[in-house]
Each structure stands twice: as structure tokens, then as C-alpha cells.
Amino acid sequence: MSDIIKTSDFDMEFRDEVFKEPDADKITLCFNCTGCTSGCPMAELEPEYNIRKFLRMANLGMKDALLNSPYLWYCTTCYKCQERCPQGVKNVDTLLKIRTIAIQNGIMHDNHRKVSQLVIKLGHAVPINDEAKEKRKDVGLDDTPPTVHKFEDALGEVQKLLKITGFDKLVVDKEETS
Amino acid sequence: MSKLSFFLGCIAPNRYPGIEAATIKTLEKLGIELVDLKGASCCPAPGVFRSFDKITWLSLASRNVTLSEEMGLDILTVCNGCFGSLVDANNIMKEDPKLKEEVNKILKEIGHEFKGTIEVRHIIEYLSQEVGVEKIKAAVTIPMDLNIALHYGCHLVKPSKERHLGSTENPRFFDELVEATGATSVDYEDKMACCGAGGGARTAVLDTSLQMVMNKLEHMKAAGVDCIIDACPFCHLQFDVGQTEIKKKFNKVYDIPVVHYSQLLGLAMGLPLSELGINQNLIVNEEFNKKIERIRGGANE
Ligand code: SF4
Ligand code: SF4
């Protein structure tokens, strides 16, 4: 991204959309103390990752630059920034809202898509396998946990819920959508 | 005897069942009965689901909560991620009537209704607040004279406005539970740092996520500990599987065993090693096993 910010890059509808998240508008109270970024473990590893800059960009409505930044997906949601912010900015909650808007715009990591599809299919993001069944027996447990893995009706409920909310369509394979 | 429903989540039952087994057995010894939360699903994983679609995240989490409401029991989790998802969802549903109405419309179609009648607990804060260090000390039969690196993990204590567990930069309550087993919680640099797995980062940007856990492993190694103690199967996986990935990708070997608090408690209560599943980890450290055997003598069989 270039260092010059053009007003034509500002999309106020995007900003309004971000502000629909409760208290996301607190980013307007940010006084640039850099407390959030200076404690961020991801900023330590990736200098390009800057939560303060992201939130400032959201406040300016810089939709395209923000949604297309690969760093949007680097946050581990450790909440250190949000804990430290003296202005009560909801750093993490606001970032998650920006991610939601990215998802709605079709920007999604393939691996995230796969995890989501596993939950739709099996009700677990990390499902059982044969090796785990053996491990369960070895520690004296039933080979299948008493979750959706054991109760088909329950899995049906989860699948129905994910249809009602439209989640199944949201994470469908790209080829299938076109 | 107190009674709670046991929310398993995904990683404990499907990757590290020793954590599940150890939790059931050790809590039973402390007079706590865990009841199966039949038909529970993924919490759902906050990193992906909460980012992707808030209503989906809230509805699926609320479904899990209603299963326990229907039994009239509070929920116990052994995972920081599940705890974060379920507590946050439970609080939002209790405090936001509009969202509650929207989610309940969805839940009605699958035969459930969120009422707001129960609490969600994490094994560590539950033991600390409801059972207490003294009672745990009294249940310990073999003090585990180990030097351990304690990893609280992020979502056990943060966001603090939701968790109410005191300091997030210098908490003590988990250290006290560790010390009740006879182990020493060794101070190490940046102890409260994140393991790097959360927020979907491990899934999306594995190498960077591993670099974060490498920072932690370096600090733990420098402190010369026998093992890591954690309270979250996802952090557990990041430390355990992560060490093998780091070996392959970055050619660094740490060989630090990874133990969930429930497993440490099991060791200290003299439960058979085979029922605790510690050696089902990818990282199996023979020196550590010998030390445990020395401390526990015949109890290992
Ligand atoms: S929550 Fe994300 S942005 Fe905030 S300190 Fe942690 S990694 Fe950095
Ligand atoms: S800590 Fe808060 S006030 Fe300071 S720069 Fe970050 S968001 Fe702004």
C-alpha cells in the first residue's frame, strides 16, 4: 500500500458497517498511544502486522486496503491489546467484525473453509479418527465420545442450524458457487 | 457431591483423550460428578466461527448451552477456546434481548430454547474458586516434585471484563493449583504470552504461528523445566504437535513434555499412568518418564 492516502479510498458505508459491532465506534477515541501494538506478540514477529493501523484504517473507511491485507488473518485473538488500551477500544472485537466483512466479500483462507466444512459435515472442527479411537480405548474411555459423533439426531440439529443461518452457503467450495 | 455437565469440545476427545479421562477421574476424587453432555458439538471454534458469522457462532454455542440448561446443570470445560466461546455466548444471550430473540428463533426450529439459567465454568477457575487449594492438597497422595512451566493461555483470563479473574498480566490462581500438587511453577520470561494457535492463526498462517510458540518454548527451555502445564487442548496441541513441526521446518529440538493440569492432578493422586494418556503425546521424553517413575514408585503401573 502506498504511503499517500487518497480520500477516494474512503468508503463510509464500510465504516458504518464496522460500527454495527457494539462499541466498535470506540476506535474514534484512539489517541495513538501505541499501547496496543507495543504489546502485540504478532507485531513482534511481523512488523507489518499493526492492529492500531488496522483500526485507524477502518475509521477512515479504507475498505479495499483493509480487506485485502493478508495480515487481517494474523491476529491470534490473545486480547492483550484490548486489555491494555486506555481508551476502551474494542481492538479484537472490531478486528473480528472486519474479518466478517471480508468473509462476506468472499475473502477466505482455504484451510478455514475446510475446518468450517468439517463442522457442517461432522459437527466437530477436529473430528474423531481411527487412531484417536484406539487412544480413547487405551485410557479406558468408550471409543466414540458422547457428542454429535455418537448421536445422529444431534448432528442433524447442528446441520439444520447451520443451514438456517446460511453458514453452509457461506463456506461452500468456490467452484460450486460459480 | 457437586454435579456438572462435561463439555468435551473437539480436541480433547478426538486427539488427547487422556485429558478427558484424567478430568473425569480426578474430579470424582474431589467429589465432583461429571455428566455427559450428550449430543454436544464443536463449541464452535471462536477463531473461525466468530470471525465468519456472529449469529452462526452465537446460535451453535447457545445450542450447546441449552443442552446443559435442559439438564439443570452448569457446564464444565477443560479448554480455553471452548470456555471463551461458551462464556461469551452465554453472557451475550443473557444481556442482549434482541440477539436472544433472534437466536431463539433459530433454536426453536431444532427444538431448543435458550433460557439463561446456567453458568459455564473452566476446570481451573472452578477448582480455584469452588474447590480450593486446601482440598486439592488434601487429595494429593504423591507430591509431584517437578519444575514446570505454567501456561495459562489467553482466553482463560481474557477479556478480563468477561472473566472476572483478576490480573491478566500477573495472575496467581493457576500457579497455586499447580503448587498444591507439590510441583514448582518456575518463573520464565513472558510467561503470559500467547501460544500462537488462536484466532484461526494456526490454521491460516502456520509458520508464523509456530514462530510464536517457538518464542515461548525458548523461554521455557531457558528456565530448565521438566514439562509444560497447560489448561487447554488447543494450546496443548500447539505445544505438542508444534514441537514436531518446528523440528521439521526450523530444525530446532526442544523435547519438552506437554501435560494438561488434569493429568498433573492425576499423577499426584496416584492414578495409573496408562489412564492419563501423557505418553499418547507426540513428544515423549524418556527422561521425564523416568523422573515421574522415581517420584511415583509403584503407582506408575
Ligand atoms: S489480540 Fe491480536 S492484535 Fe491484539 S495483541 Fe493479540 S495478536 Fe496482537
Ligand atoms: S492502545 Fe488504544 S488508544 Fe492506544 S493506540 Fe491502541 S487503540 Fe489507540
From B92, B122, B152, give the residue that closes a domain. B122
In a domain, B137, yes or no: no
CA A147 / ligand 1 centre spacing (Å): 32
- Inform me whether the C-beta atom of residue A105 falls under 8 Å from chain B C-beta atoms: no
Strand order in the sheet with B2-7: B32-36, B2-7, B75-77, B120-122
Average pLDDT over residues A154-173: 96
pLDDT for res B300:
66
Confidence of residue B64 (pLDDT cuts 50, 70, 90): very high
What is the pTM assigned to this prediction? Answer: 0.96
Q: Domain of residue A144: give its range.
A: 110-177
C-alpha span between B104 and B55 (Å, rounded): 11
Confidence of residue A176 (pLDDT cuts 50, 70, 90): low
In a domain, B97, yes or no: yes
**Number of separate domains in chain A:** 2
Average pLDDT over residues A47-57: 95
**Ligand 1 pocket, residue A85 CB under 6 Å:** no
pLDDT for res A178:
40
Residue B94 has pLDDT above 90, yes or no: yes
Chain centroid to Cα B56, Å, comes to 24
Confidence of residue A175 (pLDDT cuts 50, 70, 90): low
pLDDT for res B22:
98
- Inform me whether the C-beta atom of residue A29 falls under 8 Å from chain B C-beta atoms: no
Residues 159-178 of A with CB under 8 A from B: 160-162, 164-167, 170-171
C-alpha span between B55 and B49 (Å, rounded): 9
CA A40 / ligand 2 centre spacing (Å): 12
Residue A99 shares a structural domain with residue A115: no
Q: Domain of residue B258: give its range.
A: 142-300
> Could you tell me the CATH number of the domain that includes residue B36?
1.20.1050.140
- Cell numbers representing residue A53 in the block: 493501523
- Cell numbers representing residue B9 in the block: 469440545
Residue B149 shares a structural domain with residue B292: yes
Residue B102 has pLDDT above 70, yes or no: yes
With residue A17 as reference, give the H or E element that holds it. Answer: helix A12-18
In a domain, B195, yes or no: yes
From A45, A75, A104, give the residue that closes a domain. A104
Q: Please measure the distance between the N-terminal and C-terminal CA atoms of chain A and give it in whole angstroms.
A: 30
> Could you tell me the CATH number of the domain that includes residue A30?
1.10.1060.10
- Inform me whether the C-beta atom of residue A72 falls under 8 Å from chain B C-beta atoms: no
- Cell numbers representing residue A36 in the block: 496496543
**Ligand 1 pocket, residue A51 CB under 6 Å:** yes
Residue A96 shares a structural domain with residue A153: no
Residue A9 has pLDDT above 90, yes or no: no
Q: Please measure the distance between the N-terminal and C-terminal CA atoms of chain B and give it in whole angstroms.
A: 29
Residue A138 shares a structural domain with residue A170: yes
How high is the mean pLDDT of chain B?
96
From B87, B122, B157, give the residue that closes a domain. B122
In whole angstroms, how large is the CA radius of gyration of chain A? Answer: 20
Does B208 contact A74 at a Cβ distance shorter than 8 Å? yes
> Could you tell me the CATH number of the domain that includes residue B239?
3.40.50.11810
Residue B219 shares a structural domain with residue B114: no
pLDDT for res A177:
47
In a domain, A2, yes or no: no
C-alpha span between B27 and A34 (Å, rounded): 44
**pLDDT tens-digit series, residues B187-232:** 999 999 999 999 999 999 999 999 999 999 999 999 999 999 999 9
Nearest to B127 by CA among B83, B160, B90, B78: B78
In this structure, are residues B22 and B262 in contact, taking their beta carbons and an 8 Å threshold? yes
